[in-house]
Structure 1
Amino acid sequence: MQTVRAVPTFSALNLRDLGGIPLGPGRQVRPGVVLRSGRLGGLDPVDAAAVAALGIRTVVDLRTADERGSAPDSLPPGARLFVADVLGDNPGVTPARFRALLADPVEAERLLGDGKAEEAVARSYRQLVLSPGAAAAYRAFIDTAADHAARPVLFHCATGKDRAGWGAALLLLVLGASRDVVRQEFLAVNPVLRVVGRPYVQGFLDAGGDPEIASAIIEVRPRYLETALAAMDERWGGLDGYVRDCLRVPGPTLRRLRSELVVYTGQ
């Protein structure tokens, strides 16, 4: 798989261009039109300039109202904000609630010990697929990505791994990427997550916390994506049924996406 273009920034977490991801023989995602990241608040001047240079027209914020209020985006010049709250009807599964437990090893062990951490995060991925609110948010994201006037689009959640991870997986599947390719992109954020999460994890471990709990919360794992895909397959029979019957994306929108976001390499 071609290496995905990770935009070199420090304060813009997990800023990645989906361009160049292979979609089958001779096809790949068009560069520079759809990017993903973590929250955009508190960018240092160098990173703010790097983000501005991308020419982003629309920022799709997948976070909850509480998250947006506590860490508002710093929009690039000329960009508009579009809120697509994935967890609006189910805020109890917000990943921030898991991360907060890293400050309390005893409570983390009580709630997430003995393998329950991975199980809890996996369940939250199932809700990304089954929740009506999540469906509305991801439909809005797909509609925005298909709108030529809205691109380049940058979509993000808090750390750029869970809600944005499923958003990236969904878009890539719609464009024709294999599940193996989608899995590689999904897991590719882990090196950055480990670096950024190290201070929180180290404090948790120093206080006696279980490293398995920290790893399950900070990183993404194959099981998380597989849980979302399994929910899609079980409820709607696969991608086509999910997009048609759950997200209700019109055929013309899908055709426009596949026409405008795919480039042919001739290889």
Structure 2
Amino acid sequence: MQTVRAVPTVSALNLRDLGGITLGPGRQVRPGVVLRAGRLGGLDPVDAAAVAALGIRTVVDLRTADERSSAPDSLPPGARLFVADVLGDNPGVTPARFRALLADPVEAERLLGNGKAEEAVAQSYRQLVLSPGAAAAYRAFIDTAADPAARPVLFHCATGKDRAGWGAALLLLILGASRDVVREEFLAVNPVLRAVGRPYVQGFLDAGGDPKIASAIIEVRPRYLETALAAMDERWGGLDGYVRDCLRVPGPTLRRLRSELVVYTGQ
């Protein structure tokens, strides 16, 4: 089993250290330098202290302007905020719009019924790869992760599953993780997502909502990641072309990432 350190918090949703993820024989992601999460607003005192203890220097917020306005981050002491709005040029596909449908079963059925929910979410993942605004945001995230003065870096979206999920997948692929390892990390957030989403899902179901719609919105699925990877492969021929021609990450940045974010275990 892949070992990923989930930081034990309640109000800091899906806070996870990418450190320890296997990149190949004898190689792992360096612990404590890149973490992912969902929202960082409204932390309780215990969780605020836990986040502060991580020594975060930079928080990369992948959310839209509306999301940032409605739920501002609670920055840990000494951290700077860096906004990298993944959906700034295409806010209509923001996952938050899917979650809002859990309050309106009739509208959810109209838009996402008859098996359309999973397809709609999957297609939003294509936009994470194909949108120019998303490319600029993920390039900025990669640049930040490569900057020693910016680390430790915590990057997040609203729930830590879609925009942050692709960001984690991208970074892990750059560092040399296999797609199987990336998929395992991508899906590992589901237990927390289901637990946190349970009250919203129950309300949706009690009002007559379709459980298939709710689960497609609340959780992540292999198809979502595969849709993003397929878009990358089709448009740019794979990771190298995507990073070079879409994100335009310079070679020295990639070499610094692979040098400084990887540890050798000798096993």
What band does the TM-score fall into relative to the shorter chain? over 0.9
Moved over 3 A (4+): none
> Which whole-Å CA distance do the structure 1 matches of 2:197 and 2:32 have between them?
28
TM normalised by structure 2 equals 1.00
8 Å CA contact 2:2, 2:184 repeated in 1: no
The aligned residue for residue 131 of structure 1 is: 131
State the shift of 1:2 in Å: 3.0
> Which whole-Å CA distance do the structure 1 matches of 2:213 and 2:242 have between them?
32
> Which whole-Å CA distance do the structure 2 matches of 1:164 and 1:246 have between them?
18
Please state whether the residue corresponding to 1:39 is helix, strand or coil. Answer: coil
> Which whole-Å CA distance do the structure 2 matches of 1:106 and 1:153 have between them?
41
TM normalised by structure 1 equals 1.00
8 Å CA contact 2:86, 2:134 repeated in 1: yes
Q: Encode CA deviations 1:199-257: one digit per residue, 9 max, x unaligned.
A: 10000000110000000000000000000000000000000000000000000000000
State the shift of 1:3 in Å: 1.8
> Which whole-Å CA distance do the structure 1 matches of 2:46 and 2:66 have between them?
28
The aligned residue for residue 150 of structure 2 is: 150
State the shift of 1:15 in Å: 0.0
Please state whether the residue corresponding to 1:208 is helix, strand or coil. Answer: coil
State the shift of 1:263 in Å: 0.1
Task: Count residues with an aligned counterpart.
Answer: 267
> Which whole-Å CA distance do the structure 1 matches of 2:170 and 2:215 have between them?
24
Correspondence 1:60 to 2:60? yes
Q: Encode CA deviations 1:180-212: one digit per residue, 9 max, x unaligned.
A: 000000000000000000010000000110000
> Which whole-Å CA distance do the structure 2 matches of 1:105 and 1:145 have between them?
40
Identity of aligned residues (%): 96
The aligned residue for residue 221 of structure 1 is: 221
> Which whole-Å CA distance do the structure 1 matches of 2:63 and 2:19 have between them?
23
Contiguous gaps of at least 5 residues in structure 2: none
The aligned residue for residue 159 of structure 1 is: 159
State the shift of 1:133 in Å: 0.1
Alignment of 1:1-267 (within 5 A): 1-267=1-267
Q: Encode CA deviations 1:70-126: one digit per residue, 9 max, x unaligned.
A: 000000000000000000000000111001111111110111001111010000000
> Which whole-Å CA distance do the structure 2 matches of 1:167 and 1:75 have between them?
20
> Which whole-Å CA distance do the structure 1 matches of 2:90 and 2:169 have between them?
21
RMSD: 0.4
> Which whole-Å CA distance do the structure 2 matches of 1:11 and 1:93 have between them?
26
Contiguous gaps of at least 5 residues in structure 1: none
> Which whole-Å CA distance do the structure 2 matches of 1:115 and 1:145 have between them?
38
Please state whether the residue corresponding to 1:81 is helix, strand or coil. Answer: strand
> Which whole-Å CA distance do the structure 1 matches of 2:104 and 2:166 have between them?
28
